[in-house]
Structure 1
């Protein structure tokens, strides 16, 4: 019962996040984060399609979630590539993105059927890469004047949500792959992580200052 409530709540929270992002679009429309609003509406629409195909049409819907994972991780890597200042960090993030896309493709061709199986190993790898990427961002923040007003930075709140979600999702994917008897409990954890992620996004959109200018890269 509790898991079902969380399942239904996720769609409404994701729609709410997209609406809040639309309301506060003026704060970040002059930066690469302007594409984040498209990303959030895509997530909400994808969740609605997934829910409809599962509950009404009673068909396998894993393919749309697997496509979402490819798009989501690729987009997030591009966000940090655009905002990181140090070129060595940017280069590493670019390599992360390329490796992920290649591994995702090869895994789908030879190992996992993306129409019937949830992506596992590419998921775990991308989550680890993204945690490292966010760590790069936090290091840059700590070494800049932004640290004095970090809670007013939209990307900071996005990063908090992303890192918390990905730290929690790795054991979820591993458990789902190898311990199917824990499916219900781990799915509850996954949905709680999604709620935490979206709450961080919403706080960021509401509390952040308007972003004036994106900084250039450093050596």
Structure 2
């Protein structure tokens, strides 16, 4: 039960790799490698904790830094020339600096960077909200269910808003043991991860379908001209 979320992460990564030739020239190419970094960090962290019995917090400190930067870069491409792109651009520049200050002068590298983790999480929520605001402001009709950006922003918003609520407002869930040390907190976190990576799989599928359709249309146009 502890590793169900990891299976979804691996499934999303494999799906992204299988169709990477369709995705590599789109804004979501970075998402494939982001998921790969997450999977690698989870595997290394689990090995350190369960086999080597050594602290694994440094791995997650570095992995989450890279994760947030890549999310910010993806949102920047999602926004494009949209007026809300300023936030993601400033975030990508400022976050590594704040992270470095935190781990060197405030919390240190030997504990999890909760301060900058919370900052990154709140920033993801803000970027996702900006995306939905931009949809409302856009007069052009968009089929959201066929939009990779929609599923990307939806997964981010659900995951990080719920994760923050779970971490800050439902703190006792750590103490509620469901079975064999599997707490209510872990259950909620597992469900959130399943939702997030299911959304990412949807992103890859939609992007792959769109690129295939555009390629087929281009071929048909070439044939008839």
Instruction: Determine if the TM-score, normalized by the shorter chain, exceeds 0.5.
Output: yes
Q: Could you tell me how far apart the structure 2 residues matched to 1:31 and 1:53 are?
A: 35
The change in CA–CA distance for 1:38 and 1:135 in structure 2 (over 3 A counts) is same
Q: Could you tell me how far apart the structure 2 residues matched to 1:109 and 1:180 are?
A: 31
Report the counterpart of residue 56 of structure 2 in structure 1.
61
Count of residue correspondences: 205
* DSSP 3-state at the match of 2:52: coil
Report the counterpart of residue 123 of structure 1 in structure 2.
117
1:54/1:60 contact within 8 Å kept: yes
Shift of residue 92, structure 1, vs aligned partner? 2.0
* DSSP 3-state at the match of 1:31: coil
- The alignment status of 1:140 with 2:139, answered yes or no, reads no
The change in CA–CA distance for 1:180 and 1:161 in structure 2 (over 3 A counts) is closer
Q: TM-score, normalised by structure 2?
A: 0.80
CA-based RMSD of the aligned residues comes to 2.5
Report the counterpart of residue 217 of structure 1 in structure 2.
none
2:30/2:70 contact within 8 Å kept: no
Q: TM-score, normalised by structure 1?
A: 0.82
The change in CA–CA distance for 1:112 and 1:57 in structure 2 (over 3 A counts) is same
2:12/2:201 contact within 8 Å kept: yes
- The alignment status of 1:100 with 2:95, answered yes or no, reads yes
Shift of residue 86, structure 1, vs aligned partner? 3.6
Shift of residue 205, structure 1, vs aligned partner? 2.2
Of 157, 160, 172, the match for 2:154: 160
Higher relative contact order (Cα pairs below 8 Å, separated by 6+ residues): 1
- The alignment status of 1:199 with 2:198, answered yes or no, reads yes
The change in CA–CA distance for 1:42 and 1:136 in structure 2 (over 3 A counts) is same
Q: Which runs of 5+ in 2 are unaligned?
A: 177-182, 215-225
The change in CA–CA distance for 1:181 and 1:200 in structure 2 (over 3 A counts) is closer
Q: Which runs of 5+ in 1 are unaligned?
A: 213-219
